[in-house]
Each structure stands twice: as structure tokens, then as C-alpha cells.
């Protein structure tokens, strides 16, 4: 175990693909990284998490502490608590976080979606909140094994705005560990910007039963529909005080059409029967539209359809559950 600076003690909640990928980078950058993990505890305790990455080479996250519960964390509160659990309906993030922080701990949320911070900011007013968006394609392939396919940038800044010394320190650790950190003083706008793509392509890909980007954009009227729905997200963002660049939808459409056809992460979750981040990615955008009085009928339709898909999946899982 390497000696480490107190200010760089990092605890990660949820050592899934995302948490392990950035944890390994932070460790490579010199931080003291521990993880709380449940299902994969034995494997991670024994061998850490092996990251298989053609871009970064093979690396292994060997946590300083592998914990079943954040309450077992030794040595005082962490400087950073990274929350990288997937936010699906029923997750009580506040309860998970409460056990894992102490005086001075900055809470780092790595999460998709919009309007995901306010609740935690209200719950933990004395803690700095760093809001982060992962642009990375990673997947947990087995207990203690993660495959890194592409990308890796982490975009972040303080919520509701600004960029603290701690946030800058986090960026330095990541960069030292080989991952690009893109810091911003306006992370909320960055979230809306990413949501323009995510709130449209993700549900649409699921609704066609795992469509890829070619099916979506090259169907009759496909581009026009995507542009209209993205325009709704932009209108909601603007109404929330976060106007996005002109022409953003067209930029996204052009870039997506140029890239080889691929399926969204939500389509992959759907195909594998995993929970989908419908609420943070789409539901929050729809609720913001309703709150701000912005018409978003395409998004509302996508959302209504996704709730039907979720209901069907829940019924199937219930039927398949052991009794």
C-alpha cells in the first residue's frame, strides 16, 4: 500500500464499471482509493478490480480498503466521496451518502441526467458538491473485472456553479492517472447539454426494441423527429436558466450520423434486462418542462412509453423472482 496525502483519501460508493474505472485512474494518479462494494466484495477483496483497456493498458485498482459498508471506513472521513451507483427508481442516495461522509468530505456525483443535485445539496448543505458526467464506455464483465471500450473524459464542476480547489485537485489526480478531466464553472449547463442527446436517443433506442443510431436517424422522418425532440430539451434548459448553444441539436445529429451505428447504453441495459435510468435522464427533463410551463410533447410521449416498458419489465422480473 502506498503512502498517501490525507487530502487525497477517496472513498468510492459503488465499485461498478464507472467507479472502478475512475478509481483506478485516481489511484494511478496518486490518490488513496477505497471502495464500498456489495455483490463483488469477495473478488475485489482478493484481487482488486482489473481494468482491461486498450487505450490505457491493463491496470488494476487495488483499493486501500475494501468495505461492505461505508461505516467501516478507517482513518477518518474521506476527502472525497465518489458516488457512482446507478440511480434507478428506489435508490436512496442520501442514506448511502450519510454513512460515508464526515467533516470536510466533498461529495462527487458521477451520474447521468439533469436536476439530480438539488435534493442532495439540500440534504448536505455543509458539504461541497461536485457534479460529474462520465463520457466513457465501460462495462463490468465479471466480479472484479471491467472492460474499457472507448472514451473516458470526466466533465465536472461544483454545484450549483463554480470550481473549487478540491474540484481542481480531483482534476489533477485524474489527469495524472491518464484520464482527461474537463472542468467547468457551469456544470448544470453541461448536464443539460448532454441531456439533449441522452433524453432523446436513449429512450428512442429502447422503444424500437434496441434500435441503433442508423435505424433512428435514417428512418423516414427520423432526423426531423430527433431534431424536434432535442429542441424541446433545449427549450426546457433555456427556461431553467441554462440556454444552450444555437444549432446544438444539428451538431449532435451530424456527429451521430457520421459515427458508425451503435446502440445507446439504455438500449443495452434494456436488452440485458437491467434497470434503466429513465427518471434522471428523461423524467427529470419532463418534470422541469412542466414546472417551467414549456411544451414538450415529444418528450412526454417518450416518457409515457418508457414507463409502460418499465412496467412490463417489472412484471417480468417479479414473475421470474425466486419465492
- Nearest approach, Cβ of residue 197 and its own copies (Å): 16
Q: Of 123-152, which residues contact its own copies (CB under 8 A)?
A: none
| 218 vs 99: CA distance, rounded Å | 49
Q: Does 309 bind its own copies (CB under 8 A)?
A: yes
Which residues fall within 8 angstroms of residue 105, CB to CB, at 6 or more apart?
77, 78, 79, 80, 81, 127
Q: Does 300 bind its own copies (CB under 8 A)?
A: yes
* CB-nearer residue toward its own copies: 18 or 276: 276
Residue pair 130/156 in contact by the 8 Å Cβ criterion: yes
Q: Does 52 bind its own copies (CB under 8 A)?
A: no
- Nearest approach, Cβ of residue 208 and its own copies (Å): 5
* CB-nearer residue toward its own copies: 43 or 305: 305
Q: What are the b/e assignments for 284-305, b being 16+ CB within 10 Å?
A: bbbebbeeeebebebbbebbee
Stretch 185-224: interaction string toward its own copies, x if CB under 8 A: -------------------x--xxx-x---xx-xxxxx-x
| 158 vs 78: CA distance, rounded Å | 18
* CB-nearer residue toward its own copies: 187 or 289: 289
Q: What are the strands, taking DSSP E only, across 32-168? A: 32-36, 49-53, 59-61, 66-67, 80-83, 106-110, 129-142, 145-158
- Nearest approach, Cβ of residue 292 and its own copies (Å): 18
Q: Does 315 bind its own copies (CB under 8 A)?
A: yes
| 121 vs 127: CA distance, rounded Å | 8
Collapsed DSSP state (helix, strand, coil) of residue 158: strand
* CB-nearer residue toward its own copies: 224 or 250: 224
* CB-nearer residue toward its own copies: 71 or 259: 259
* CB-nearer residue toward its own copies: 86 or 228: 228
Q: Does 229 bind its own copies (CB under 8 A)?
A: yes
Bridge-based pairing of strands 129-142 and 145-158 is antiparallel
User: Residues touching its own copies: how many (CB under 8 A)?
Assistant: 30
Residue pair 239/292 in contact by the 8 Å Cβ criterion: yes
Please report, as ranges, the residues that interact with its own copies according to CB under 8 A: 204, 207-209, 211, 215-216, 218-222, 224-225, 229, 297-298, 300-305, 307-312, 315
Amino acid at each position: 500500500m502506498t503512502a498517501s496525502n490525507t487530502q487525497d483519501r477517496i472513498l468510492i460508493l459503488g465499485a461498478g464499471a464507472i467507479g472502478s474505472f475512475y478509481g483506478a485512474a485516481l489511484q494511478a494518479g496518486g490518490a488513496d482509493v477505497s471502495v464500498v462494494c456489495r455483490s463483488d466484495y469477495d473478488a475485489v477483496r482478493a484481487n482488486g478490480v482489473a481494468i482491461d483497456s486498450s487505450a490505457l493498458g491493463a491496470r488494476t485498482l487495488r483499493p486501500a480498503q475494501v468495505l461492505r459498508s461505508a461505516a467501516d471506513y478507517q482513518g477518518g472521513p474521506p476527502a472525497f466521496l465518489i458516488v457512482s451507483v446507478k440511480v434507478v427508481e428506489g435508490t436512496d442516495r442520501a442514506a448511502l451518502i450519510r454513512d460515508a461522509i464526515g467533516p470536510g468530505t466533498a461529495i462527487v456525483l458521477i451520474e447521468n441526467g439533469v436536476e439530480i443535485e438539488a435534493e442532495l445539496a439540500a440534504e448536505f448543505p455543509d458539504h461541497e458538491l461536485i457534479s460529474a458526467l462520465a463520457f466513457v464506455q465501460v462495462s463490468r464483465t465479471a466480479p472484479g473485472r471491467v472492460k474499457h471500450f472507448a472514451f473516458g473524459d470526466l466533465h465536472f464542476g461544483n454545484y450549483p456553479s463554480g470550481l473549487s480547489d478540491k474540484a481542481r485537485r480531483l482534476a489533477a489526480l485524474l489527469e495524472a492517472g491518464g484520464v482527461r478531466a474537463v472542468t467547468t464553472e457551469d456544470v448544470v449547463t453541461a448536464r443539460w447539454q448532454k441531456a439533449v442527446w441522452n433524453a432523446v436517443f436513449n429512450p428512442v433506442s429502447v422503444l424500437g426494441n434496441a434500435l441503433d443510431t442508423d435505424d433512428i436517424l435514417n428512418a423516414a422522418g427520423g432526423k426531423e423527429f430527433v431534431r424536434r425532440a432535442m429542441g424541446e430539451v433545449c427549450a426546457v434548459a433555456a427556461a431553467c436558466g441554462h440556454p444552450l448553444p444555437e444549432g446544438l441539436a444539428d451538431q449532435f445529429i451530424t456527429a451521430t450520423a457520421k459515427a458508425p451505428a451503435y446502440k445507446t447504453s439504455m438500449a443495452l441495459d434494456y436488452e440485458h434486462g437491467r434497470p434503466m435510468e429513465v427518471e434522471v435522464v428523461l423524467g427529470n427533463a419532463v418534470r422541469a418542462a412542466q414546472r417551467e410551463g414549456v411544451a414538450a410533447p415529444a418528450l412526454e410521449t417518450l416518457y409515457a412509453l418508457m414507463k409502460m416498458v418499465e412496467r412490463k419489465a417489472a412484471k417480468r422480473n417479479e414473475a421470474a423472482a425466486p419465492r
